[in-house]
Amino acid sequence: DVKVTQSSRYLVKRTGEKVFLECVQDMDHENMFWYRQDPGLGLRLIYFSYDVKMKEKGDIPEGYSVSREKKERFSLILESASTNQTSMYLCASTPSNGRSPLHFGNGTRLTVT
């Protein structure tokens, strides 16, 4: 089974802090994604990466950056956390064959105070 592991289930940070959310997958998938989930808005794509050191902006990249130094790890960075970034963050991965679903981690619920 594919395993996507997010390092924290819950995080509480203060406004202005730099925040790192980590995600690791164990199936050698090329593609990795970061989504945020808010009630009534579904999942919105922040960034995705299709290879090491490659990244593309999703629908809501503002206030976020990402890092993919190794194939198995995809980090989401909040440069200066704000209260409107309080949300559930979901990491996902998929191989690049175009025929596979997304596999999700359990999510990180981030609260910015």
CA 42 to chain centroid, in Å, comes to: 15
Residue 59's SS3 state is coil
CB atoms closer than 10 angstroms to residue 71: 15
29-60 b/e (C-beta count within 10 Å ≥ 16 → b)? bebbbbbbeeeeeebebbbbbeeeeebeebee
Closer residue to another protein (CB): 3 or 14: 3
With contacts defined by CB under 8 A, name the span among 12-20, 30-38, 62-70, 74-82 that binds another protein. 30-38
CB 104 to another protein: min, Å: 4
Indicate which single residue of 8, 22, 27, 50 sits in contact with another protein (rule: CB under 8 A): 50
Two tokens, residue 104: 């999700």
Number of residues this chain uses to bind another protein (CB under 8 A): 30
Closer residue to another protein (CB): 15 or 103: 103
Chain residues binding another protein by CB under 8 A are: 4, 6, 9, 31, 33, 35, 40-43, 45, 48, 50, 56, 59, 90, 92, 94, 96-99, 101-107, 109
